[in-house]
Amino acid sequence: MSVSIFDRAQASARFIREQLAGEVDVAVVLGSGLGAFAETLDDKIIIPYEEIPDFARSTVEGHSGRLVIGKLPSMPHNIAVMQGRFHYYEGYSLDEVTLPIRTFGAMGVRKLILTNAAGGINQNFKAGDFMLISDHINLMLISPLRGRHDHRFGDRFPDMTEVYSREYRQLAQEVAAEMGIQLHAGIYLSLQGPNYETPAEIRMMRVLGGDAVGMSTVPEAIVAKQMGMKILGISLITNTAAGIQEGQINHEEVMEMGRRVSKEFCELLRRISGRLS
């Protein structure tokens, strides 16, 4: 008999708790090229994904494949940081992609920050900008809630009116203003990938109201919302999307932009996480 996703999440949560002293208050998922934030934690405990029961493996450059748990000076409790995530395009099921979020929920975490590297659809965005996710459009055309329902995770039909917490978005804008950086707000579109989009697809997405596009985040957000977590989403605009400017798009460009804004991004996350705690 196969083990349920609920039981798998509970087993992963138990394993992680055994490594810790204290509770985890905030969880953060870091996107491509954004892993440096995890290195800023104090009293770090580093757990490779392959050691955590049922966790998948990160196979994409820029995703270190480690869970880093530690503290920030302003936080009384631990923060758990995923240095890299799992993607549907890697061949994993959405159950596997979202198991870490289910695990955080089993650990009692109710505050979640999701980050990603994204292509800018909005023509007012430029590479290096940050975008606060105000809403999303699921162009992956599949839901992580599909299949047998387990009521222990929450409602079968969870409301998606406010996936990304209005309160958290306001807090993030206040922090950005204090730092003197611009934090755009916009709608994130998620596709299966791994190929980048065509110019025609980008034109369609602009008509749909999209501001940025990527290949992650949405399945995690849906699962977190079902479980009652409050979510903040932040995209780093690593490049302009296909057809907006001349030139081709490549993963090295995404990684390089992550390195260029690393210091600013880490400080933004540090301040926001401290306020959430």
Which DSSP helix (H) or strand (E) runs through 44?
Answer: strand 42-48
Full residue range of the structural domain in which residue 83 is found: 5-276
Q: What is the pLDDT of residue 246?
A: 65
Number of domains making up the chain: 1
pLDDT for residue 247 is more than 70:
no
Residue 202 and residue 240 in contact, taking contact as beta carbons nearer than 8 Å = no
Paired tokens of 129: 């900008």
Nearest Cα to 101, choosing from 9, 216, 7?
9
CB 219 within 8 A of CB 94: yes
Q: What is the pLDDT of residue 204?
A: 95
Where residue 146 sits, what CATH number does that domain have?
3.40.50.1580
| Cα angle for residues 219, 11, 230 (degrees, 5° grid) | 40
List the catalytic residues. 32, 63, 87, 89-90, 117, 215-216, 239, 251
* Whole-number Cα distances in Å, 90 to 15, 57, 131: 25, 10, 25
3-state secondary structure (DSSP) of residue 48: strand
Nearest of 175, 200, 97 to residue 142 by alpha carbon: 97
Name the residue among 14, 20, 17 with its Cα closest to residue 70. 20
At 35, is the pLDDT very low, low, confident or very high (cuts 50, 70, 90)? confident
pLDDT at 77 (0 to 100): 85
Cβ-based neighbour number of residue 217 at 10 Å: 23
Q: Average pLDDT, whole number, for the chain?
A: 91
Lowest mean pLDDT: which of 20-24, 46-50, 136-140? 20-24
Percent residues over pLDDT 90 in the chain: 73
